[in-house]
Amino acid sequence: MKVLVIGSGGREHTLVWKIHQSPKVSKVYCAPGNAGTLSMAENVDIRADDINALVGFAESEGIDLTVVGPELPLTHGIVDEFEKKGLRIFGPNKKAAELEGSKGFTKDLLKKYDIPTASYSIFDSAGDAKRYIKEIGMPIVVKADGLAAGKGVIVCHEEKEAIKAIDSIMVEKVFGDAGDRVVIEEFLEGEEASFMVFTDGKSVLPMLSSQDHKAIYDGDKGPNTGGMGVYTPAPVITPDIFSEIMDGIIMPTIEGMAAEGRPYRGVLYAGLMIAKGSPMLLEFNVRFGDPETQPILIRMESDIIPIIEAVIEGNIDKIDIKWREESSVCVVMVSKGYPGSYQKGKGIEGLEDAERMEGVEIFHAGTRLNQGNLVTDGGRVLGVTALGIDIKEAIRKAYEAVSMIHWEGVYYRRDIGRKALLKTKLKIKN
């Protein structure tokens, strides 16, 4: 079977790595890919959002299965276009991808099906939004309705921050049309966790729970990024909370989407806040998380291809996923300046030694080859991912590998996994 993976980040390198191991797969392509995908796939020079060119490539190359990494082609309807041509593709169609494409759509769906989430109001006029802000007081969260490359959410502790957020989203239109509407939400306090499932629109297969670290600096300080590191499992997701997530959030969403005439197929990612011991939905993503995919797929023992095929064919109730017992941690190494502006083209050293470590995989994100030399080519550069007998061992191994790798201006958080470690220690003491 020939498989095409769409995207160029750490998530896509991980998907290529996992798909390439399947005995059912003869060749993997990645569009556009990075220097990491090159060693197991043929990189194809087509952008992830160039849907026409991707359809053309899949047809002419006889691709048997396409797996979409990022949200943009999904919300633009890549699945609909592939299916029109009879091409097999993994992911939700355009109507189902609204779960990530419009925060307003999602909030209304959550309300209709009584799914726990922060209370909210939606506005399409800046004046009304500002009046509301003055009325309800702080803290609040202002969200651009549409896709804003992960930057459209502003947590506001002061009124003037909230007014500024409305001006930049709705008046200056810094996110374009994505700011035609805003959602203004109650601020929730608690601990965040990520929870992903495979679903064929009827049944659900959960993956492992995990916890991302969104802020750039240690101690969750500084601006938000795409994600600076993840560990799995997340001890904050206790067995009781797991059941609440499945019964109170995931299943009602899947059933609600089907009832709305938008059956959902693919990976559904729930970004959760565990607030006062109960899970609340912060956001849905209609794709695998990045970097959640790195430490989760490193623990997946099963072949991923039969799972993907079962999602497309609508029979995942017949499938089980086998997971490795170990814990895993992914530490993301980034370019200095990220998530703001940064330089590219810095030579990366020490990768071969780190790659030789047992139970360590290094997934590339922003990398490319420059005359045979590996150089940085993005904000998030590498996801150093390690398995360990427990979270402590996985953290130790990931950071040992990280310490072997260097480039000018490299930065990473030093505290990935610390929260899980503290929880585990507390449990032992109790």
Q: How far apart are CA 109 and CA 91, in angstroms?
A: 20
Burial of 421 from C-beta contacts in 10 A (0-12 / 13-18 / 19+): middle
Q: Which stretch binds ligand GLY (CB under 6 A): 139-147, 286-294, 303-311, 367-375?
A: 286-294
Q: Which stretch binds ligand AMP (CB under 6 A): 46-54, 182-190, 227-235, 242-250?
A: 182-190
The residue among 151 and 344 lying less far from ligand GLY, judged by its C-beta, is 151
The residue among 7 and 227 lying less far from ligand GLY, judged by its C-beta, is 227
Q: Which stretches within 137-284 are classed as H helix?
A: 159-166, 239-245, 251-259
CA–chain centroid gap for 19, Å, is 18
- Residue 100 sits in the site that holds ligand GLY (CB under 6 A): no
| Contact between residue 201 and residue 264 where contact means Cβ atoms under 8 Å apart | yes
Q: How far apart are CA 10 and CA 30, in angstroms?
A: 12
Measure the CA angle with vertex 406, ends 401 and 407; round to 5°: 150
Among 227, 229, 252, 295, binds ligand GLY (CB under 6 A): 227
Residues 195-224 that bind ligand AMP (CB under 6 A): 214, 224
| Contact between residue 146 and residue 177 where contact means Cβ atoms under 8 Å apart | yes
- Residue 292 sits in the site that holds ligand GLY (CB under 6 A): yes
- Residue 282 sits in the site that holds ligand AMP (CB under 6 A): yes
Write the CA distances from 148 to 101, 185, 213, 231, 382, integer angstroms.
10, 17, 19, 26, 23
Q: Which does 252 bind (CB under 5 to 8 A by kind): ligand GLY, ligand AMP, none?
A: none
The residue among 71 and 200 lying less far from ligand AMP, judged by its C-beta, is 71
Q: How far apart are CA 335 and CA 341, in angstroms?
A: 9
For the bound state, the minimum distance from the C-beta of residue 178 to ligand AMP, rounded and expressed in Å, comes to 12
The residue among 280 and 351 lying less far from ligand AMP, judged by its C-beta, is 280
Among 1, 53, 155, 312, binds ligand AMP (CB under 6 A): 155
- Residue 153 sits in the site that holds ligand AMP (CB under 6 A): yes
Sequence-distant (≥ 6) Cβ neighbours of residue 356 within 8 angstroms: none
Please give the structure tokens belonging to residue 409.
């201006």
Count of beta carbons in the 10 Å neighbourhood of residue 145: 26
- Residue 188 sits in the site that holds ligand AMP (CB under 6 A): yes
Measure the CA angle with vertex 157, ends 155 and 163; round to 5°: 75
Which of 285-321 are b and which e, b meaning 16 or more Cβ less than 10 Å from the residue's Cβ? bbbbbbbbbbbbbbbbeebbbbbbbbbbeeebeebeb
Q: How far apart are CA 354 and CA 232, in angstroms?
A: 21
Specify the DSSP class assigned to residue 171: I
Among 89, 109, 118, 257, binds ligand AMP (CB under 6 A): 118
Among 185, 290, 303, 377, binds ligand AMP (CB under 6 A): 185
Q: Which does 185 bind (CB under 5 to 8 A by kind): ligand GLY, ligand AMP, none?
A: ligand AMP
- Residue 289 sits in the site that holds ligand GLY (CB under 6 A): yes
The residue among 215 and 258 lying less far from ligand GLY, judged by its C-beta, is 215
- Residue 385 sits in the site that holds ligand GLY (CB under 6 A): no
Q: How far apart are CA 297 and CA 315, in angstroms?
A: 21
Binding-residue total with ligand GLY (CB under 6 A) = 6
For the bound state, the minimum distance from the C-beta of residue 287 to ligand GLY, rounded and expressed in Å, comes to 8
Which residue's CB atom is positioned nearest to ligand AMP?
A: 283
Q: Which stretches within 260-340 are classed as H helix?
A: 293-297, 304-313
- Residue 290 sits in the site that holds ligand GLY (CB under 6 A): yes
Q: Which stretch binds ligand AMP (CB under 6 A): 108-116, 121-129, 161-169, 183-191?
A: 183-191
Q: Which stretch binds ligand GLY (CB under 6 A): 118-126, 289-297, 326-334, 376-384?
A: 289-297
Q: How far apart are CA 106 and CA 369, in angstroms?
A: 40
The residue among 227 and 295 lying less far from ligand GLY, judged by its C-beta, is 227
Q: How far apart are CA 6 and CA 43, in angstroms?
A: 10
Q: Which does 153 bind (CB under 5 to 8 A by kind): ligand AMP, ligand GLY, none?
A: ligand AMP
For the bound state, the minimum distance from the C-beta of residue 154 to ligand AMP, rounded and expressed in Å, comes to 8
Among 100, 185, 200, 212, binds ligand GLY (CB under 6 A): 212
The residue among 164 and 344 lying less far from ligand AMP, judged by its C-beta, is 164
**Dihedral sign, CA of 285, 288, 289, 292?**
positive
Give contact residues for ligand AMP (rule: CB under 6 A): 118, 141, 143, 153, 155, 185-188, 192, 214, 224, 271, 282-283
Give contact residues for ligand GLY (rule: CB under 6 A): 212, 227, 285, 289-290, 292
